[in-house]
Amino acid sequence: MDLDAAYRLLREFWVVWMMILFFAIVFWAYRPKNKKRFEDAARIPFKDDQ
């Protein structure tokens, strides 16, 4: 295996890894279990106004 072949192989795995990571983050963010947590975090800037 020469360096060009190794580079292409690693580049393909990098793309697959990034896609898996992206979809895992999206799945985590849109889970109903996390909704209250994100809503509370969204209200942080307005807590001083009360």
Mean pLDDT for all residues in the chain? 89
Query: Could you give the percent of the chain with pLDDT greater than 70?
Result: 96
Task: Tell which phi-psi region holds residue 31, choosing left (phi > 0), alpha (psi between -120 and 50) or beta.
Answer: beta
SS3 track for 8-47: HHHHHHHHHHHHHHHHHHHHHHCCHHHHHHHHHHHCHHHH
State mean pLDDT over 1-30. Answer: 91
- Answer yes or no: is pLDDT of 21 > 90: yes
